Every structure is written in C-alpha cells, then in structure tokens.
A and B are shown apart, each in its own frame.
Chain A
Amino acid sequence: MDAQLKKGVLELCLLQRLSGQPQYGYDVIQTMRKHFPEVTESTFYAVLRRLDKEGAATTFRGEASNGPARKYYQLTKAGRERLEQMRADWVQLQGIMAELGIVK
C-alpha cells in the first residue's frame, strides 16, 4: 500500500479499535496485523505512540489477571472527535470515489 495513503488509514483503524474498551497495545496490534499483514508491528506502535503524544489517546498501567502490569490505551475526548472527523471524511471520499466509478 502507498505510504501516504497508509498513514491515514492506519490511524483511522487504530482510533476505531480504541474507541471501545481500553485495550493493551499487544492486543490492538495483533488484531490489526490480521488485516494488514504487510505492515510491521513496529509501525503500529509508532502510530499508537503518536496518538498518545498528540492527546488522542491516553495510557495507563492496568493489572492483568496473570503476569505483570500492562500498558492500556484508551481514546480521549479529542480522540473521539478526531475519529468522527476522519470517519466523515472517509464517507465523503467514498461517495466521491463511487461517483467517479473508482469503487462500486
């Protein structure tokens, strides 16, 4: 996939994944890898870290039932707004693509 296109798509997908229950990075990334097998896990971690830094997501240490404390990711209010914005953009883009006959 084209790098420029991928950047936005991965962000949107990660935002969507984090919009529900708080999850730890490892789980989020394993699910994402099923859909994007050619993207390395490091790339997802880098995007997650950026979301955290930009305030779209927060992290906290949560106790796991077995093993050491894990780092959980959760979407913030700003993150939800960004998700809605990106979703709207995507729907609009999809409409344009359909009109132009690029996608059915």
Chain B
Amino acid sequence: MKLQKAVPVETEGAYLNRLGKKLLLFFPTGQVLEILEDYQEHFSLGREQRNTEESLIAALGSPEDAAADALRESGQLSYCVRHTVRWGILLLLACGCLCLRKSYIDFWVYTGTYLFLLLGAVSLFILLHGRGRAAVENRFPSRNGRLTAAMYLPPLLLLVILEALAQYFTAAGAKRPDFLNAGQVGPLFALLLDSAWIVLALLLAWILWKTCKDSVRYYPAAVCALGAALSIWELERFIHRMDIDYIPQQQHIQLAVCLLPYGISILLALLFWGHMRRISGKAV
C-alpha cells in the first residue's frame, strides 16, 4: 500500500527532516540516523553529478513512501507500537495516580503531585520521541521550530490573576466592599476557574499538536501549561474547602503553596529545554 501525501517537499533539508520524523515512528533513533545518513550521501553524490534537488527528490519518491518501504523491507513490527505500549502504560499510570490522589493522606497530596507531574512529563516526552526528534532536528533542521511567547504567557497570566484575586478576597475578609458578598464571590470565582480550565485545555492540546507536527522544541511549553492546570486545580480545591466569611490566619501562605506545581513545572520545562539543547548542541 502506498501512502499518498499532497504536500510537496522542495529541499534536501525538508526532505530529510520529514523522512526522519516518519522513520522515528518505525525505528529506534540510531537506525533512523543511519538511514538518514545514507540519504544525505545520496543527495551529495547526486549533486556532484549535477542533478537538481527537485529531480533527486522525484527519483527518491515521497518521504512517506520511503519510510513505508523501509519498514516493509525490515520486516519488523513498527517501533512506534512497542514504544507506545511501554511508555503509554507508564503515562496512564501517572494520570491515574494523579486523578486518585484525593484519597491520599495529606503528606502524599503534595509530594504525589510533584512525583506524578515528573513521571507523566518524562513518559510523555519519551512517548513523543523527544530525544529522537531532537537528534534528528539537530542533524537535519526543519527551520520552523520557533519558540513562541503565546505558549508560555496565557498559563502564567491566568495563574497570576486567579492567585491575586484569591489573595485579595482572603486578605480583605470581612472588609471587602459590600457588593462582593459571599453569594457573589463564589459564582465569580467559579466562572473564572471554568474559563481558565477551558483556555488551558485548548492551549495544551494546541501545544501538543505543534510538538507532534512541527518540532519537539515546543514540548517544555506543554509541561508549563500542565503545571499551571495543576496549580489551578489546587487553588480550586482550596477555595472549595474554605469558608468565605470565616478566614483563619495564614491563608495567604497556603494559597501561595498552591503555586508549587507550576513552579515545579517551570523547573521541569527548564530541564527538558536544557536536555534538548545539549542533544542538539545549539540554541533551541
């Protein structure tokens, strides 16, 4: 069966990058780089013999067909299947633990959040072939992996707004203006939290889609968005537990603690960023 893709590839770099990403679904990174080196040699020999890139690409066939040929001839089960099963189970485990953690005793509530955020982020990175993709992008760059503030700013802004509001209402306590009584603060917060959830879910989906499609360089942004979502979840749980008309001491510290998952996710994002930078050996 031949896979048909309408999108044409014009240059050697684009061809190798796309082929590399396809091959990563079928083979481990080492084998992918070997195959790509063969193709690179093919291009350099072809150019020596005064062939144009267009004619060389036409003779090679589309990257999708080339990858499908390579898989068929290797006679192996697609690497992606084995890989996904192995790391997907770990990811599901992390997600499951995260959902069930309400039943944990207090000590594990926070510790659990960090551990599972770490476990989930790492297994998702591996599931997305993070290392392999970074290695392929380094050797055969696609030139469209730009870092965008649009991915990092919304989670940060949402958290700052929600945290500031929560801090204000708890600090003001009984002194808050009359028009904001207990019956109004609740719905207002619920509305804000719900819109924050929707924005974060859409953002996370978009970043993950970009990570899969364009470049693994977007991945740290996904970790940040996930951390922000966890922080908002903590904030929501905290506010639900709280009695709006009787606010005890030190609530502001507990509210600040809700930001810890986001802080951890920023650290994680920096680690991933540094890791990819090290693999690719240049600025990401």
A interface with B by C-beta (< 8 Å)? 24-26, 29, 33, 40-43, 45-47, 49-50, 53, 66-68, 70-71
Contact A49 B74 (CB under 8 A): yes
Inter-chain residue pair count (beta carbon < 8 A):
61
Known contacts A46-B69, A49-B35; 6 further A-B pairs (Cβ under 8 A): A26-B42, A41-B61, A45-B42, A46-B66, A49-B70, A67-B45
Min CB gap B73→A, angstroms: 4
Chain A interface, >50% SS class: helix
**Can you show 16 pairs from A to B with CB atoms below 8 A apart?**
A25-B42, A26-B41, A26-B42, A26-B45, A26-B46, A40-B61, A41-B59, A42-B61, A42-B70, A45-B66, A45-B69, A45-B70, A49-B35, A67-B48, A68-B41, A68-B44
How distant is A13 from chain B, measured CB to nearest CB, in Å? 15
B70 x A41 contact (CB < 8 A): no
Given the known inter-chain contacts A49-B35, A49-B73, A50-B73, please indicate yes or no for A40 contacting B41, CB distance below 8 A.
no
Please indicate the chain B residues that have their CB under 8 angstroms from the CB of A26 in the complex.
41-42, 45-46
Which residues on A sit within 8 Å (CB–CB) of B35?
45, 49
Residue in B44, B61, B69 whose beta carbon sits within 8 Å of that of A67 in the complex: B44
Cβ of B240 under 8 Å from chain A: no
Interfacial chain A residues near B46, Cβ < 8 Å: 26
Within 8 Å CB of B69, what residues of A? 40, 42-43, 45-46
Report how far A46 CA is from B26 CA in the complex, Å. Answer: 13
